[in-house]
Structure 1
Amino acid sequence: MSKYTGIGIGIDLGTTYSCVGIWENDRVEIIANDQGNRTTPSYVAFTDTERLIGDAAKNQIGMNVKNTVFDAKRMIGRRFSEPSIQKDMKHWSFKVVDDGHDKPIIEVEYKGEIKRFTPEEISSMVLTKMKETAETFIGKEVKMQLLHVQHILMIHKDSY
């Protein structure tokens, strides 16, 4: 069996910010994104022409509030009917609907069409951005990743 000798990265997918690092010189180096920041907002925005992720998405929220998604990780593993989701929806500028099976679905307008995404799909867009940040930094494709997703699931009696 051959030993893997490529560069591995670690990604921390956060609810509000995410970051990516590599092991280099006997320590973890947190990589700056294309804006020079070591953390990237966990935001995804949809416009008439493109999809924006990270700083670009967060920076344009004032002009595109209904199509800029954040806090997607809060919805993972939750039911649409849960009180926590219903409470959070009051603070979100984007639309969240029931998929018909009590799962939250994010609804946005993208390139002139209504599109629906699961919270997992939005989170995967952020993860892809983090992987691309690492690949730009090291100058080659990353094949080995360590993913960290801290998620504390609070179960309430009134959620059942």
Structure 2
Amino acid sequence: MSKILGIDLGTTNSAMAIIEGGQPKILENAEGNRTTPSIVAISKNGERLVGQTAKRQAVTNPENTIFEVKRLIGRKFSDKEVQADITHAPFKIIQAGEGVKVKMGDKDYSPQEISAMILAKLKADAEAKIGEKITEAIITVPAYFSDSQRQATKDAGKIAGLDVKRIINEPTAAALAYGFDKKKGEQVAVYDLGGGTFDISILDISADTV
């Protein structure tokens, strides 16, 4: 049975893991790091860059370097969060129907397409690391993500060639990783201090759910 890739698609950095011998194992990317910057760029000579290579040239090529696209995925152009990002981002955020796109090079891309480029790198790096093809994934999202943001994240996975079996809330994944699912009838507070957001979730742990 082929491996399912667990992915933390973060605002500033992303990470991936597989289950090996019944335990989660963080996979290093092609650069040998356990996290990959969630950054995509088109270089000045037209080459697409993802991750650390995109981050390195961000200062000299800001208008073609897309970062924190997670803040835009699944949102409407009219959303106050999008309008705030428009005033701060060095790259162009434009309206596309009710949704948004970003300009990179001479093309416009949806947030799903940008996220898919990050996911595709994680997928390729994971395949190179374990020596087998990966077609399925589980991706974590913030607990506050709306249905449209969750669906857009699944769509990004599909574009990257991944069948997203589950979308799991980040605090739920953290609780499972620490084994809190084995302690029934408890409430657990999970603080998530991320690169783009800081939130707290209260989890109810019962006999069969978190």
Q: Which TM-score band (shorter chain)?
A: 0.7 to 0.9
Q: Of the candidates 64, 76, 79, which is equivalent to residue 61 of structure 2? A: 64
* Other-structure match for 2:79: 82
What secondary structure is seen at the aligned counterpart in 1 of 2:138?
A: strand
User: For residues 74 and 115 of structure 1, do their structure 2 counterparts lie closer, same or farther at Cα, with a shift above 3 Å needed?
Assistant: same
Q: Alpha carbon RMSD of aligned pairs, Å?
A: 1.5
Structure 1 moving runs of 4+ over 6 Å:
none
Q: Which amino acid is 1:35 matched to? A: E
| 1:32 aligned onto 2:28 | yes
Cα distance in 1 between the residues matched to 2:80 and 2:6 = 33
Shift of 1:84: 1.4
What secondary structure is seen at the aligned counterpart in 1 of 2:129?
A: helix
Structure 1: give runs of 5+ residues left out of the alignment.
155-160
Q: Of the candidates 127, 137, 140, which is equivalent to residue 135 of structure 1? A: 127
Shift of 1:6: 2.1
User: Which structure carries more relative contact order (alpha carbon 8 Å, separation 6+)?
Assistant: 1
Give the structure-2-normalised TM-score. Answer: 0.65
Cα distance in 2 between the residues matched to 1:63 and 1:86 = 25
Cα distance in 2 between the residues matched to 1:63 and 1:96 = 19
Cα distance in 2 between the residues matched to 1:16 and 1:151 = 17
- Structure showing the higher strand proportion among its residues: 2
Cα distance in 1 between the residues matched to 2:75 and 2:55 = 24
Structure 2: give runs of 5+ residues left out of the alignment.
147-210
Q: Which amino acid is 1:19 matched to? A: A
Question: Could you report, residue by residue, the CA deviation over 1:41-93 in whole angstroms, capped at 9, with x for unpaired residues?
Answer: 11000123310001111111011100000111111121112221111122211
Q: Are the counterparts in 2 of residues 107 and 115 from structure 1 also a CA contact under 8 Å?
A: yes
| 1:105 aligned onto 2:84 | no
Cα distance in 2 between the residues matched to 1:40 and 1:78 = 24
User: For residues 30 and 96 of structure 1, do their structure 2 counterparts lie closer, same or farther at Cα, with a shift above 3 Å needed?
Assistant: same
Question: Could you report, residue by residue, the CA deviation over 1:104-160 in whole angstroms, capped at 9, with x for unpaired residues?
Answer: 110121xxxx10000011011111111111101101211232222336248xxxxxx
Cα distance in 2 between the residues matched to 1:38 and 1:87 = 31
* Other-structure match for 2:9: 13
User: May I ask how many residue pairs the two structures share in their alignment?
Assistant: 145
